[in-house]
Structure 1
Amino acid sequence: MLAESFEEFVESLELDNLDDINTKFKTITKRLNMSYYDGSTSEEDHGYKVGSLGRQTAIRGISDMDMLFVLPESKYEQYDNYEGNGQSALLQDVKKELRKRYSNEKVIVRGDGQVVVITFSNYEVEICPAFENDDGSFTYPDSNEGGKWKRTDPLVEIGESEYMIDHTHNHFKYICQMIRAWKNNIGFKMGGLLIDTLVHRFFHKYPAYVTVTYEDYLPLFKDLFTYLKEQNKEQNYWRALGSRQPVYDKHKTFISKAKKAYNKIKDLTEESEELYEKLQEVFGVRFPVPETVAKAEFSSYAHRSASATTEQFIEHLFQVDIRYNLKIECEIKANGFRVGLLRRFIRDKKRLPLSRKLRFYIEENEFEEKHRDAPYHIYWKVRNRGTEAVRRNCLRGEIEKGNSEQEEVTSFNGEHFVECYIISNDVCVARDTIEVPILETPFPMKVQS
């Protein structure tokens, strides 16, 4: 039964817009071939899907397609000898050519100065213009800090991923996809190349899992989260699968998140009463629960209050593809005076009494920092839990549009949480959760009137 749930979950992660992605790829490739190769109308020559799509590890809800387009060598000579920032001039030239096809879409040069971005209705295409080297790697422009050339080797990474997919009978791909689902559910930034690299290294450390089946997924994820949580926090980068180029992760948030995930599942067996509840906490509400288990484990609690069914989940409202960091904090006030911050109270294990005013606010929004002119929306979710919330019919859990702050009041006991979401282009690109709080006598909230 558990094996079937894992298999069904993996199937639910498969891309559902691949035809549209392929059409966009061919159209862009054709336009650039017409611009740079004497009017060629080829939809395939000189273009490569790279990133997670190229490595076949992308999942449903992906909000960006990375592609590489190889330019003629003469263009390298032209912009390498350019007076000033030749790399920026090259990107502007590619941008100008793409506008000839996409005059109605918003075409911008992305802030990191390495790609041209075309924004469509629900995802972006990032085009990296590049020049092919003799060894099969590529040189691409970086317009930052006056401009420079960098090297990348994505085709070797794609080849290694394809080998591992075949070697593990697709399970390398499935595990990489489930780690993406975990990342999106918990809400933290972790690059796709780092995910694939660490899963690749895991399979080499635990070669017995090369022959893994769905029946082995529970012990596999116990070992995988152990492997992730034991990564060195002082390590600045990991060597990518295949290419061995450095893959950086400044914050290394995945280490602490993996520790929490491991603690949730470490004692689980297929007979555990909380098995599916915990797996949903790790991988999200879309993780399938067998109907017989759902009736036995969840129905008694759910039907104790009509409001138990009102909880909304961001996955049901928007695509989710977490690509940016988001951090929310909460200021606590008593009698009009500030008494501290919620995360510090949680850290110090202080008890929060009733009748405290809470002001939740966004402390860090990486999306806004990187895309200052890009529109986005903020949504909040307040969820009360516990017997008192059920008795008072005050579980809440609706997802509502708001601004950078959300005010609440502590009013009765129970375990509760608040979530915040950044929505851009109809995609949830960042999310964060704060427990309110996990103490011996937590409390719920009501909207400040």
Structure 2
Amino acid sequence: MLKEKFEEFVDGLQVESIEEETKRVKEITKRLNKSFRNLENEEIENSHVVGSLGRDTAIKTFSDVDMLYVLPKELKKQYEEVEGNGQSKLLQKVKKEIKKRYPKTIIRGDGQVVVVSFESINKTVEVCPCFERSDGAFDYPDSNNGGSWKKTDPIPEIDKSIAMIEETDLNYKYACNLVRAWKNNKGFKFGGLLIDTLVYNFFNENDDYKSATFDDYLSLLKDLFYYLKKRNKDQKYWHALGSNQEVYNKDGAFVDKAKHAYEKIEDETEDSEDLYDALQDIFGKSFPVPEDIAEKEAFEKSALFGKKVRQTEEFIEHKFDVDIRYRLKIDCKVKQDGFRDKFLRHILRDNLPLKVNKHLEFFIIENEFDCLSKDAEDSLSYKIYWKVKNRGEEAIRKDCIRGQIVKDTGARKNTESTNFKGEHYVECYIVYRNVCVARDRISVPISTI
């Protein structure tokens, strides 16, 4: 039974079609070939789809297509000699030429790429103009800090990824898919190339899993999360598969998250009563639960409280695609008349009880996407949503589990109160162009002590 559920879940993660995305890449390539090479009707030459799509490790909720466009070599010297920031001017030139093909589409320069936002397909194409080097890698413009050239080498990364997918009979691809689903559910930033590199290293160190079947996936997950949790969270970079380039690790969040995931399933077996709860904690409510188990849980709750339990909880993945790419962190001021305000994260850190009859004011303390939108040439308007979920017997008895996803009113905060005991939580989401690009959760464990 578990084998079928893993297979069903993995199958649901697969990219169904990239026909529309491929069409846009070809249109951009055609326009740039005309602009920079005077080529007519050439839709493929001089461009490469790279990133997770190129490595064939993307999942269906991907929000961007990474492409390289290879410029004529003689242009590099021209932009090196131009007065001012030549890299910025090159990006602006590429932006201007793409704008000729899409005059009504939002197109912006973004430090190292030109971002073309297509509302019709709810995707962006990130165009990285570059120059081919003698070693087969590419130099691309970085307009930050006065401008410079950086090296990228995605072709051997793609080759190694495709080879490992074939060598492992898709197990490498599926493991990369599962890590992305976990990252999106837990809401932390974990770069795609770093994911693929670490999973690649895992398979090279654990040859037995190269021939795994879905019967082995619980064991595979345990060992994969164990491998990730044992990485050094302070390590600044790893060497990418294929290219051996440095892939940077900015905060090491994946290490602590992997530790939690491993502890969730470490002692679980296929016959464990809590196995599916653990898997849904890791991957979200999209991980399928056998019908008899779901019915049993619903019956037990109904029998315990003498009535059918009303389900009001909503899930972000049922409303929007989820592709976590930015950091988000929320906190909460705990207030009570006559007492000094405290921060909830400090209370949780110090293992202090959170008592009833207090006022809670949840707010955002870090929003990486907000910083990006302020620096953008065009406004990157996004929406904020909140979710308050009450848990525990008292919440069920009072028919107050809540869990609805509610749009922020503009205050960028959410006010609540500690009414009754339970292991409650609050989540916040950043949604841009109908994609949840950042999320965070904070526990609200209300005690009667």
For residue 270 of structure 1, what is the amino acid of its counterpart?
Answer: E
Shift of residue 231 of structure 1? 0.6
After TM superposition, the structure 1 = structure 2 runs for residues 311-350 of structure 1, keeping only pairs within 5 Å, are: 311-335=313-337, 337-350=339-352
Question: Are the counterparts in 2 of residues 302 and 308 from structure 1 also a CA contact under 8 Å?
Answer: no
- Tell me which residue corresponds to 1:119: 117
After TM superposition, the structure 1 = structure 2 runs for residues 181-330 of structure 1, keeping only pairs within 5 Å, are: 181-301=181-301, 308-330=310-332
Equivalent position SS for 2:101: coil
Change (3 A) 1:299 1:156: farther
Paired with 2:94 and 2:177, the residues of 1 have a C-alpha distance of 32
Equivalent position SS for 1:151: strand
Paired with 2:448 and 2:362, the residues of 1 have a C-alpha distance of 17
Paired with 1:370 and 1:353, the residues of 2 have a C-alpha distance of 38
For residue 340 of structure 1, what is the amino acid of its counterpart?
Answer: K
Q: 1:112-132, CA deviations, whole angstroms, 9 ceiling, x for partnerless residues? A: x11000011222110000111
Question: Are the counterparts in 1 of residues 234 and 251 from structure 2 also a CA contact under 8 Å?
Answer: no
For residue 118 of structure 1, what is the amino acid of its counterpart?
Answer: V
Shift of residue 94 of structure 1? 0.3
Q: 1:387-429, CA deviations, whole angstroms, 9 ceiling, x for partnerless residues? A: 1111111110100001411000111111111000001111100
Shift of residue 298 of structure 1? 4.3
- Tell me which residue corresponds to 1:38: 38
**Residue 397 of structure 2, aligned match among 391, 401, 406:** 391
Change (3 A) 1:378 1:271: same
1:424 aligns with 2:424: no
**Residue 416 of structure 2, aligned match among 403, 408, 424:** 408
Paired with 2:158 and 2:199, the residues of 1 have a C-alpha distance of 14
Paired with 1:35 and 1:302, the residues of 2 have a C-alpha distance of 67
Paired with 1:137 and 1:124, the residues of 2 have a C-alpha distance of 24
Gaps of 5+ in 2: none
The count of corresponding residues between Structure 1 and Structure 2 is 439
For residue 227 of structure 2, what is the amino acid of its counterpart?
Answer: Y
Shift of residue 291 of structure 1? 1.4
Question: Are the counterparts in 2 of residues 307 and 395 from structure 1 also a CA contact under 8 Å?
Answer: no
- Tell me which residue corresponds to 1:436: 444
Change (3 A) 1:344 1:337: same
Paired with 2:322 and 2:17, the residues of 1 have a C-alpha distance of 14
Paired with 1:300 and 1:428, the residues of 2 have a C-alpha distance of 34
Paired with 2:101 and 2:192, the residues of 1 have a C-alpha distance of 29
Q: 1:311-358, CA deviations, whole angstroms, 9 ceiling, x for partnerless residues? A: 000000001000000000011011153341111111111112110000
- Tell me which residue corresponds to 1:142: 142
Q: Between 295-304 and 229-238, report the one with greater CA deviation.
A: 295-304
- Tell me which residue corresponds to 1:362: 364
- Tell me which residue corresponds to 1:100: 100
Change (3 A) 1:299 1:430: farther
Paired with 1:213 and 1:232, the residues of 2 have a C-alpha distance of 30
Question: Are the counterparts in 1 of residues 356 and 448 from structure 2 also a CA contact under 8 Å?
Answer: no
Paired with 1:103 and 1:18, the residues of 2 have a C-alpha distance of 23
Shift of residue 302 of structure 1? 6.6
Q: 1:6-35, CA deviations, whole angstroms, 9 ceiling, x for partnerless residues? A: 111111011134111111111111111111
* Deviation beyond 6 Å, 4+ runs, structure 1: none
1:23 aligns with 2:23: yes
Q: Between 9-18 and 57-66, report the one with greater CA deviation.
A: 9-18
Change (3 A) 1:10 1:339: same
**Identical counterparts, % of pairs:** 53
Q: Between 17-26 and 319-328, report the one with greater CA deviation.
A: 17-26
Question: Are the counterparts in 2 of residues 436 and 442 from structure 1 also a CA contact under 8 Å?
Answer: no
Q: 1:20-74, CA deviations, whole angstroms, 9 ceiling, x for partnerless residues? A: 1111111111111111121331111111100001000111111111000101112
1:6 aligns with 2:6: yes
For residue 428 of structure 1, what is the amino acid of its counterpart?
Answer: C
Question: Are the counterparts in 2 of residues 118 and 124 from structure 1 also a CA contact under 8 Å?
Answer: yes
Shift of residue 300 of structure 1? 2.7
Paired with 1:290 and 1:312, the residues of 2 have a C-alpha distance of 20
For residue 102 of structure 1, what is the amino acid of its counterpart?
Answer: Y
Q: 1:251-280, CA deviations, whole angstroms, 9 ceiling, x for partnerless residues? A: 110011111111111111000011111101
